[in-house]
Amino acid sequence: MGKKIVIIGAGTAGCLTAATMLELKNQYDIELIYDPSKPSASVGEASNFLLSNFLGVHFDFLGTDLKKMNGTIKHGIQKNNWGKENYFHSFLYGNYAMHMDSKEFQKWFLNKLSKEITITERSIDDISAISADYIIDCRGKYKEDEVNTIESIAVNASYVTQCLWDKPEFEYTLTIARPYGWVFGVPLQDRCSIGYLFNSDINNVEEIKEDVKEIFKEFNLNPSEKTNLINFKSYYRKNNFNGNVFYNGNSSFFTEPLEATTLHMQIFTANLIKSSIQDGSRINNELQEIYEETIKEQCVMIALHYVKNENYTTKFWKKAEEVSNKLVKDACYDKKLRSILNKAFELENTNYNKADFNNIFYGTWPAFSFYWNIKHLGIKKILEKYLKLW
């Protein structure tokens, strides 16, 4: 065969990328190289329905497989304290997503991939030492001068607590706005991952530890001693498609967990990389533009949650509103966003067939999701004002 693709790293991004490259295995030898001394973090991850569809297509994914990765079904996102009333953002037309334990997900995925491609266990420090036609780096590493910071993301830290239980208490991702940021709840079979997202430049971890106790109490959760403080920045790579070297996962980008855009973007980026390998006429600059525009759309979608919160007037929320309104206001100039916002407003005022709007997306939301979230976030008047500016 001669030609070869090497993927480095076997975290979620590496595994999803390797699965995407299976479509090229008749043209290329495919090898996944990873360091087993650096396992995936044992935390709960939430997805949208793209992941479930992806696994069904590539591996005939079953409900029994979900249990093997300590996972649960996800029917949508419960959103509390974001607007005047709590609400549920559901998936349409019987779609479902999933929550899974990253560590167990990796085990399951490597077992599936081992039947299709070469898997090698070793550490890679310098990718220039690898001999391959294409290299896809999913190790989670980047240098500061290789990425652009995303200024519109209001949070930069997460305090995660694993809360033990005998069985899952709910089948949705829980997201709760709080005075210092927001809290996610990801239900797994044996525990619930509770993560408090905040800005460490505004609030300290002691404040977060105290406030998250209210969540434990409200939902009758049993916090364990397994906690983790994660500091992060939001960014995307300046040159993600660099000749024959590509990047995915944390080596490529990171925004924030709200709306579970990370796994979606990993699959999307893997398909862009496959496109570059498969079709030489699609130059890497063109793919970079698509990549950056997609990240921007997801950031706008996330920012809508921070445009206005009538429940809190803390320093965090004032800062979040400032950066989010700037992004959304500027984005309302874009024809694509204007179109889907107008569709969302139309849904509120007329009888409609949901199927007519199901294939119109911005970020990861169809028009109906824009309608539903805008209504419950109480931000329609603000968006209408921004639309009139352009």
Query: Which of 317, 314, 341, 318 is CA-nearest to residue 329?
Result: 341
User: Residue 364: inside a domain, yes or no?
Assistant: yes
Per-residue pLDDT, 203: 98
Same domain? 181 vs 294? no
Among 283, 298, 313, which residue terminates a domain? 298
Same domain? 271 vs 345? no
3 state DSSP class of 194: strand
Same domain? 182 vs 143? no
Question: Between helices 335-349 and 284-303, what is the axis angle to 10°?
Answer: 40
- Per-residue pLDDT for 352 more than 60? no
Using 50, 70 and 90 to split pLDDT, how confident is the model at 151?
very high
Using 50, 70 and 90 to split pLDDT, how confident is the model at 388?
very high
Same domain? 19 vs 127? yes
Helices (H), 9-85: 12-21, 49-59, 63-68
User: Residue 79: inside a domain, yes or no?
Assistant: no
Same domain? 182 vs 294? no
Q: Average pLDDT, stretch 350-372? A: 77
Same domain? 188 vs 263? no
Among 231, 261, 277, which residue terminates a domain? 231
Per-residue pLDDT, 74: 94
Same domain? 216 vs 265? no
Same domain? 66 vs 205? no
- Per-residue pLDDT for 244 more than 60? yes
Residue 106 is part of which domain span? 4-73+89-150+236-298
Predicted confidence (pLDDT) per residue in 191-216, tens digit: 999 999 999 999 999 999 999 999 99
Between 44-53, 64-73, 155-164, the lowest mean confidence (pLDDT) is in 44-53
User: Residue 227: inside a domain, yes or no?
Assistant: yes
Same domain? 131 vs 262? yes
Question: Between helices 335-349 and 367-377, what is the axis angle to 10°?
Answer: 70
Cα-trace Rg, the chain: 21
Predicted confidence (pLDDT) per residue in 8-45, tens digit: 999 999 999 999 999 999 999 999 999 998 866 555 58
Same domain? 140 vs 281? yes
Same domain? 51 vs 140? yes
Tell me the pTM. Answer: 0.94
User: Residue 256: inside a domain, yes or no?
Assistant: yes
Same domain? 213 vs 314? no
**Number of compact structural domains in the chain:** 3
